[in-house]
């Protein structure tokens, strides 16, 4: 949606505040589904969206997992990309410069295998021009704790949050893993550790088996499930976390239509991210934004906050 077409909706306040990060509207593209932005430049006007979350960056470049890395399921997508990325140096030297020049609100998703790696990433990205916030992916394995993901225990989730927060002045959004028993206990732990906002959910662990070859379909055996199949779970978790914490919540998981987005705002999300839907239709985010505005106009809502269902 172009900025000029949004100006006609002056009664509606589309801007949202995620801690100190001000977004012009609440529609973001999710990490891993919009590359580093420039991959979509000929397909959509990224500046019209609230912003983008770039593919997760690590200290060193990563090759990712062996193929096959993607498998479609009914209503969903299994991916085992394995966090392939260009690494922090190439990101700083090439990718962020284009995003800054284009004035695209940019949230950088970071990942690490130790607390020290997260801390180093945060320190190196602090004050890099063009970065508006960090999103901390805590679904990664903690190599010092036998490979258990940081996001599955309140203690390690809090440790990562504290380390990142101490190392950097940017707004910190902690992205939760849904592969846990009690999402609220993790959310409360990262809030207490200083997170400015929470985004959820990352993918749900799944697998598929090729019955002719009698072996798992994905090269990595397991992969992350995304897309419409996970929306009811994501919505339930956003509802719970929005009521268990008082920091802003960004809803992610299977959002494909504007109606999905409205459900997430009613559950308590202040902003949303569109992931797998962008892979199917690069214009999904723009269409969702249009639909949100129309719905708010038709129903006399003046701000995103008004959509939340009360206690």
Ligand X SMILES: Cc1cc2nc3c(=O)[nH]c(=O)nc-3n(C[C@H](O)[C@H](O)[C@H](O)COP(=O)(O)O)c2cc1C
Minimum gap (Å) between residue 226 Cβ and ligand X:
3
Report the residue number whose CB is nearest to ligand X.
32
User: What is the pairing mode between strands 204-207 and 27-29?
Assistant: unpaired
51 vs 240: CA distance, rounded Å:
25
Residues 173 and 198: beta-carbon distance below 8 Å: yes
Residues 230 and 204: beta-carbon distance below 8 Å: yes
Minimum gap (Å) between residue 231 Cβ and ligand X:
7
Establish whether 140 is a catalytic residue.
Answer: yes
Residues that bind ligand X (CB under 6 A): 30-33, 55-56, 77, 79, 81, 83, 109, 137, 175, 202-203, 226-227, 230, 252-255, 274-277
Six token digits for residue 119: 């801390």
Minimum gap (Å) between residue 56 Cβ and ligand X:
3
Helix, strand, or coil here: 84? coil
Residues 229 and 270: beta-carbon distance below 8 Å: no
309 vs 297: CA distance, rounded Å:
18
Place of tokens 């704790």: 145
User: Which among 198, 223, 229 has a CA at the least distance from the CA of 208?
Assistant: 223
User: What is the pairing mode between strands 51-57 and 106-110?
Assistant: parallel
Q: Catalytic: which of 140, 159, 168, 184? A: 140
Minimum gap (Å) between residue 105 Cβ and ligand X:
16
Minimum gap (Å) between residue 253 Cβ and ligand X:
5
51 vs 199: CA distance, rounded Å:
14
Six token digits for residue 111: 């990942």
Which residues are identified as catalytic?
A: 140
């Amino acid at each position: 949606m172009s900025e000029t077409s949004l100006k006609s909706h002056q009664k509606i306040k589309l801007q949202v505040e995620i801690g100190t990060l001000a977004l012009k509207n609440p529609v973001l593209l999710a990490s891993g589904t919009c590359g580093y932005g420039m991959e979509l430049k000929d397909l959509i006007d990224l500046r019209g969206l609230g912003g983008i979350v770039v593919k997760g960056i690590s200290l060193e470049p990563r090759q990712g997992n062996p193929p096959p890395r993607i498998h479609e399921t009914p209503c969903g997508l299994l991916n085992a990309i394995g966090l392939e990325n260009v690494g922090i140096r190439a990101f700083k030297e090439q990718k962020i410069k284009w995003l800054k020049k284009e004035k695209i609100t940019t949230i950088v998703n970071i990942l690490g295998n130790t607390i020290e790696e997260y801390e180093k990433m945060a320190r190196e990205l602090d004050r890099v021009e063009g970065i508006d916030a960090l999103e901390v992916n805590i679904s990664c394995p903690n190599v010092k704790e036998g490979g258990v993901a940081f996001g599955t225990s309140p203690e390690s989730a809090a440790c990562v949050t504290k380390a990142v927060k101490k190392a950097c002045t940017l707004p910190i959004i902690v992205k939760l893993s849904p592969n846990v028993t009690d999402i609220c206990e993790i959310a409360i732990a990262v809030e207490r550790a200083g997170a400015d906002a929470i985004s959820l959910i990352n993918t749900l662990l799944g697998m598929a088996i090729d019955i002719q070859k009698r072996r798992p379909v994905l090269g990595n055996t397991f992969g992350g499930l995304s897309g419409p199949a996970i929306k009811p779970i994501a919505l339930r978790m956003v509802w719970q976390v929005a009521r268990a914490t008082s920091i802003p919540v960004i809803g992610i998981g299977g959002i494909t239509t504007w109606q999905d987005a409205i459900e997430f705002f009613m559950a308590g999300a202040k902003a949303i991210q569109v992931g797998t839907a962008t892979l199917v239709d690069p214009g999904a985010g723009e269409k969702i934004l249009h639909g949100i505005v129309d719905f708010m106009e038709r129903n006399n809502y003046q701000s995103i906050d008004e959509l939340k269902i009360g206690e």
